[in-house]
Amino acid sequence: MAENVLALGATPVLFGVVGNDPTGQALLARLRTDGADTAGVVEEENRITTKKTRIIAHNQQVVRVDQECTQPISYATQEELAGRLQAVLAGIDALILSDYGKGVIVSPLIRKIWPLVRRTGVRCYVDSKGHSVRRFRGVFLAKLAKSEAERITHLQIVDKKNLTKAARTIAALYRCKYVVITEGPQGMSVFLPPGRLHKIQALAREVYDVTGAGDTVIATLALALSAGASLIQAARLASVAAGIVVGKVGTAVPTLAEIRRQLRASRQQAGF
């Protein structure tokens, strides 16, 4: 399940597509064991479930081998996904679209769910590799990696001036309220209306594996903002959560206890 939709409410619901194969069954079983609600996951016949094999040496990822299908999901699968999403929209606070160009977040599906999202007023967050940006117009927040921001805007982000210009361009393309650009070890930049740029520094720690860091950022942003945090507060929390994840080997999830410990340590380092 290389890309997905996450609905945040009283209980987060994961939406995506897996194949009817052993890898898909194993993934669903693991998700359920971990307490995830998989009611939105659709099985599609004759589709390969995305499988990523990571080669680790000295506790760090060296190379990754992917087995996947990037063809658009079928019309029937799109209808099924849209129907399942419609069933929960009224009870959620945020909707995250993780678009990696793997064939799930396709334009016909977006056209099906967009009117539903706007009708309910749910805040929509997009984490996209920059495929067909205009189809996401009207989202609440767009998060992109620096390399994706450069590709979309055709700008080389080498200083604050170009970074601000890129963020403004992205905000115009998405017609969104907020833009967050992640910059790896340099942290992330938050673009606030009417055009202010705020820098969030990354945690100083050894990086073992960046797997899932971007997903951690967008999920933490959406969760914190839904709970009433400001964007700056949410971004700082997201930076802490991502810093914890990259300090672990493999796909990892930061625990609440780890986040609290890191926040206390950060305050002590800052002299608070």
CATH number of the 1-121 domain: 3.40.1190.20
What pLDDT was estimated at residue 18?
94
Helices 213-226 + 231-246 axis angle, to 10: 150
Query: For residues 204 and 167, which has the higher predicted lDDT (pLDDT)?
Result: 167
List for the chain the helix, strand, coil content (%; round to 5): 45, 25, 30
Query: For residues 230 and 209, which has the higher predicted lDDT (pLDDT)?
Result: 230
251 phi/psi in degrees, rounded to 5? -70, 120
Element (H, E) at 210: none
Predicted confidence (pLDDT) at residue 127 exceeds the cutoff of 50? yes
Could you give the percent of the chain with pLDDT greater than 90?
52
The owner of tokens 């945020």 is 94
What pLDDT was estimated at residue 251?
75
Confidence category of residue 82, pLDDT binned at 50, 70, 90 = very high
Which range has the worst mean pLDDT, 94-98, 148-152, 231-235, 268-272? Answer: 268-272
Predicted confidence (pLDDT) at residue 10 exceeds the cutoff of 60? no
What pLDDT was estimated at residue 8?
65
For 195-207, what is the mean pLDDT?
78
What pLDDT was estimated at residue 27?
92
Residues labelled as active-site residues? 215
Per-residue DSSP letters for 131-187? SSGGGGTT-SEEEEEHHHHHHHHT----SHHHHHHHHHHHHHHHT-SEEEEE-GGG-
Residue 30 structure tokens: 């693991």
Number of H helices, E strands in the chain: 8, 11
What pLDDT was estimated at residue 246?
80
- pLDDT, one tens digit per residue, over 37-52 is 999 999 999 899 988 8
Confidence category of residue 17, pLDDT binned at 50, 70, 90 = very high
Specify the pTM.
Answer: 0.88
Q: How many CB atoms lie within 10 A of CB 68?
A: 17
What pLDDT was estimated at residue 272?
44
Residues 6 or more apart from 87 whose CB is under 8 A from it? none
Element (H, E) at 254: none
- Cα separation, 122 vs 140, whole angstroms: 9
